């Protein structure tokens, strides 16, 4: 009998196990991530809301140097070229494609830079949309101000898309869907109204030092001023008759915007508000707005904040400095063009942001050698951008290394808008309005900074003087493409009559004997807008390509 009992009890126990265990397991396949958050149970108090807001701000880093937006704007202009150096920097031909403006909707520059820029700016939009919809039902202190910040940030991300691609789908909800493009004019109007609403219904006039970098009314005004001066470009759908002129100045004069019938006047008043604001003034010295301690500069209006911490710092110096000038090893890529460097007046102190001649370690000051052990010298020109040497080309070094840097992370803020540009915008629109004396006075005020003059006063002003002054003041600040398009010189960057040399199509330097400085660029007018990357059209069949591509 005993074995039978054992059999029975084992059988019973086994059956009990078989019966219960499956049911227990099968009924629970729900997921609860232990180290992640789901948005449904978040944004309930101000601390959580600010964490969400920080995420929307964090995407600003992708708009600063060492990002595809900056690269696309700078390297496609005459401010920066990235030559192939030995076996370095070919990178699928993307840099040459970008600089030579040979891009197509599927070429190397597009798949990396334009597609990256599109995704980066739109990710900012998506984060803002998610944030704004999630905080909708929540109640917390300063809600109006925080919502205004979210809207202003979203408007800024749309501003970048408008500048680079023209009209794009305007989306303010969180669902992923295929949508058609708006016109560029509609997008302009949307951004304008969002910025005005944010400015007038929530953004503070200024921030305490412990909150510096967050959006203010001044930030909204600065973007608006820039949009208005560019209204002759930003409200047009493309190059050609009735559209953007690729070869002559595109004035804001007479362009109607929501703020008034003349965008130039609107630009004037937005810039004037900032210049009269008690919260901004020109910095005492030109470098103060770029140094690692530039968060104290009274000139910076809307910045991307950087601090010397892993993943949170500015690493723009890595792309241009030679391998041996900084630690960790920089990349020795980005250079400026000889013609750009040489267009500065030698006495202009703003030219000092360019490194040229014998070089040293930027922090220690100790002279450095190139890889072979010979002293490192940066030349003014590049003989052949397809096969350059280590030391060729001057380097823009506007944001100097932070002594407290953590790896490549430096604490310099990157100003998208600073008061200096407001002087230039006001001067430009005053000139358009026929007030040349005011324009001249504004330019000279900028040259004669209160603390230290950077250049001798100008005697006269015209559009080309203004374009040059913008180059001298804003070199490397991501504005050159926009300026060249507005002034009608972006797609026709031929700089010299004796362009062809050695059959290579390189551009002669300042004298006929000088080595080449770059390549001829006389490309089609439609390139005032970047192409919509084909991969984006594949993902959204409703997107129509920009004309010409």
Partner 1 sequence: MYVRQRTAIRRSTSHPAEGRRMQLVRHLVPALVAGLFWAVPLGGQEATGAVAGKVVDATTQQPLANVEVALAGTPHRELTRPDGSFVLNGVPAGPYRLRATRIGYGSQFQEIAVTAGGTTTAQVSLAPAAAILEPVVVTGYGTQRREAITGSVSTVNADAANVGVITNVDQMIQGRAAGVEITQNSGEPGAGAQILIRGGSSVSAKNEPLYVIDGVPINNVSTEPQASGSVGDPSLPRNPLNLLNPSDIASITLLKDASATAIYGSRASNGVVLIETKKGQVGGGGPSFEYDTYASTQSPARKLDLLSGTEYATFVRQQVTAGNIDPARLGGLGIVVRTGPNPGDTTRVISNTNWENELTRSSVSHSQNLAFTGGSEDTRYRASVNYAKQEGVTLSSGLERIQGRLTATHSDLNNRLRIGLNVTTSHINNTYLAYENQGGFEGGVFENMASFNPTLPVTVTDSTGTRYYELPNQTSSRNPVALANQLINIGQTTRTLANGNAEFDVAPGLTAKLTVGLDKANGVRQEYYPNSNPLGQQLGGGLARQATLDNTTQTLQTVLNYQRQFGSGNSVDFVGGYEYSKFQDDTIIGQGKGFFTDAFSFNNLGGAVTPLTNSYAEEWRLVSFFTRTNVGLKDRFFVTGVLRYDGSSTFAPGNKWALFPALSGSWHLSQEEFMRGTPFSDLRLRLGWGLQGNPGVGPYTSLITLAANTGATYPFGDQPHGGVLANSNGNKDLKWEQTSQVDGAVDFGLFNNRLSGSVEYYHKNTKDLLLEANVSQPALQPTQLQNIGRLTGHGLEATVDAVLVSHPGLVWRAGLVFAAERNKVVELNAPCTTDKVTGAQLCPSIDTGPISGPGQSNAPSERILPGYPLGTFFGPVFLGVDQTGRQVFFCTAASTNCANGRTTDGKGPAAADYQVIGNANPDFTLGFHSQVNWKRFDLSVLIRAAVGQDVFNNTALIYSTKNQARQGKNFLRPALTDPTGILETAVYSSRWVEGASFVRLQNITIGYDLDVPWLTRSARSARLYASADNLVLITGYSGLDPEVFSGTGLAVRGIDYLTYPRPRTITGGLKLVF
Q: What is the DSSP letter of 351?
A: G
Distance of closest approach, residue 504 Cβ to partner 1, in angstroms: 8
For partner 1, the closer CB: 53 or 81: 53
Tokens of 406: 């953590």
For partner 1, the closer CB: 26 or 347: 26
Which of 143-160 are b and which e, b meaning 16 or more Cβ less than 10 Å from the residue's Cβ? eeebbbbbbbbbbbbbbb
Cβ neighbours, 10 Å, residue 170:
17
Distance of closest approach, residue 525 Cβ to partner 1, in angstroms: 18
Name which of 412, 402, 409, 415 is nearest 311 in CA terms: 409
Distance of closest approach, residue 478 Cβ to partner 1, in angstroms: 20
Pairing state of beta strands 300-304 and 414-418?
A: antiparallel
For partner 1, the closer CB: 18 or 460: 18
In angstroms, the CA 233 to CA 239 distance is: 9
Tokens of 72: 């696309």
Distance of closest approach, residue 169 Cβ to partner 1, in angstroms: 8
For partner 1, the closer CB: 7 or 247: 7
Tokens 């190139």 sit at which residue? 370
**How would DSSP label each residue in 163-222?**
HHHSS-----SS-----PPPPHHHHHHHHHHHHHHHHHTT--S---GGGTTS--HHHHHH
Distance of closest approach, residue 190 Cβ to partner 1, in angstroms: 14
Distance of closest approach, residue 212 Cβ to partner 1, in angstroms: 5
Distance of closest approach, residue 14 Cβ to partner 1, in angstroms: 6
Distance of closest approach, residue 258 Cβ to partner 1, in angstroms: 23
Distance of closest approach, residue 217 Cβ to partner 1, in angstroms: 18
Tokens 């002129």 sit at which residue? 245
Q: What is the CA radius of gyration of the chain?
A: 27
For partner 1, the closer CB: 153 or 425: 153
Tokens of 348: 């202009």
Beta bridge partners of 300: 418
**H/E segment holding residue 354:** strand 354-355
Distance of closest approach, residue 531 Cβ to partner 1, in angstroms: 13
For partner 1, the closer CB: 21 or 205: 21
Tokens 């000051």 sit at which residue? 365
Tokens 């980005």 sit at which residue? 334
Name which of 493, 285, 295, 304 is nearest 414 in CA terms: 304
Tokens 């968060």 sit at which residue? 295
In angstroms, the CA 167 to CA 66 distance is: 25
Distance of closest approach, residue 158 Cβ to partner 1, in angstroms: 10
For partner 1, the closer CB: 10 or 144: 10
For partner 1, the closer CB: 51 or 456: 51
Tokens of 233: 């470009």
For partner 1, the closer CB: 456 or 539: 539
Cα end-to-end span (Å), the chain: 91
- Label residue 245 exposed, middle or buried (CB < 10 Å: 0-12, 13-18, 19+): buried
- Whether residue 167 is preceded by a cis peptide bond, meaning omega within 30 degrees of 0, is no
Residues 6+ apart with CB under 8 A from 428: 229, 267, 439, 466
For partner 1, the closer CB: 213 or 232: 213
* 3 state SS of 474: helix
Distance of closest approach, residue 428 Cβ to partner 1, in angstroms: 32
For partner 1, the closer CB: 366 or 497: 366
Indicate left, alpha or beta for 311 from its phi (over 0: left) and psi (-120 to 50: alpha). Answer: left
For partner 1, the closer CB: 116 or 476: 116
């Amino acid at each position: 009998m005993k074995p039978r009992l054992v059999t029975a009890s084992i059988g019973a126990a086994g059956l009990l196990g078989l019966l219960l265990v499956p049911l227990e397991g099968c009924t629970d396949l729900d997921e609860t991530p232990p180290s992640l958050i789901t948005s449904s149970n978040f944004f309930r108090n101000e601390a959580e809301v600010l964490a969400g807001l920080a995420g929307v701000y964090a995407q600003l880093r992708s708009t600063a140097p060492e990002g595809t937006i900056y690269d696309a704007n700078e390297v496609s202009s005459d401010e920066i070229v990235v030559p192939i150096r030995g076996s370095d920097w070919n990178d699928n031909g993307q840099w040459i494609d970008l600089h030579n403006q040979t891009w197509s909707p599927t070429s190397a520059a597009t798949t990396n830079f334009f597609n990256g820029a599109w995704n980066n700016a739109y990710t900012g939009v998506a984060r803002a949309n998610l944030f704004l919809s999630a905080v909708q039902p929540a109640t917390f202190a300063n809600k109006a101000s925080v919502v205004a910040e979210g809207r202003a940030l979203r408007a800024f991300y749309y501003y970048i898309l408008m500048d680079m691609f023209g009209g794009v789908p305007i989306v303010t909800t969180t669902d992923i869907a295929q949508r058609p493009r708006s016109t560029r004019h509609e997008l302009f109007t949307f951004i304008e109204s969002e910025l005005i609403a944010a400015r007038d219904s929530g953004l503070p006039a200024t921030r305490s030092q412990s909150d510096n970098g967050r959006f203010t009314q001044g930030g909204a005004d600065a973007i608006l001023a820039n949009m208005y001066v560019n209204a002759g470009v930003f409200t047009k759908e493309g190059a050609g008759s009735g559209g953007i002129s690729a070869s002559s100045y595109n004035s804001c004069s007479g362009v109607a915007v929501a703020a008034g019938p003349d965008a130039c006047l609107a630009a004037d008043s937005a810039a004037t508000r900032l210049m009269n604001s008690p919260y901004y003034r020109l910095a005492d010295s030109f470098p103060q707005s770029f140094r690692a301690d530039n968060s104290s500069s009274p000139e910076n209006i809307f910045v991307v904040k950087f601090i010397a911490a892993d993943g949170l710092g500015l690493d723009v110096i890595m792309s241009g400095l030679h391998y041996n000038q900084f630690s960790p090893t920089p990349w020795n890529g980005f250079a400026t063009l000889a013609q750009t460097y040489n267009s500065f007046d030698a006495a202009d102190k703003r030219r000092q942001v360019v490194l040229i001649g014998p070089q040293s370690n930027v922090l220690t000051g100790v002279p450095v050698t190139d890889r072979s052990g010979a002293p490192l010298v940066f030349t003014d020109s590049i003989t052949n951008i397809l096969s350059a040497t280590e030391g060729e080309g001057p380097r823009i070094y506007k944001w100097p290394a932070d002594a407290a840097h953590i790896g490549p992370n430096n604490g310099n803020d990157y100003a998208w808008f600073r008061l200096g540009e407001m002087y230039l915008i006001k001067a430009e629109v005053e000139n358009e309005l026929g007030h040349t004396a005011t324009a001249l006075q504004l330019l000279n005020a900028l040259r004669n900074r209160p603390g230290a003059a950077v250049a001798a006063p100008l005697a006269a002003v015209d559009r080309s003087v203004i374009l040059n002054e913008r180059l001298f003041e804003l070199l490397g600040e991501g504005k050159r493409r926009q300026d060249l398009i507005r002034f009608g010189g972006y797609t026709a960057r031929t700089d010299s009559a004796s362009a062809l040399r050695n059959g290579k199509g390189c551009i002669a330097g300042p004298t006929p004997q000088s080595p080449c400085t770059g390549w001829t660029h006389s490309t089609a007018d439609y390139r005032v807008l970047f192409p919509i990357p084909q991969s984006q059209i594949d993902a959204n069949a409703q997107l129509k390509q920009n004309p010409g591509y």
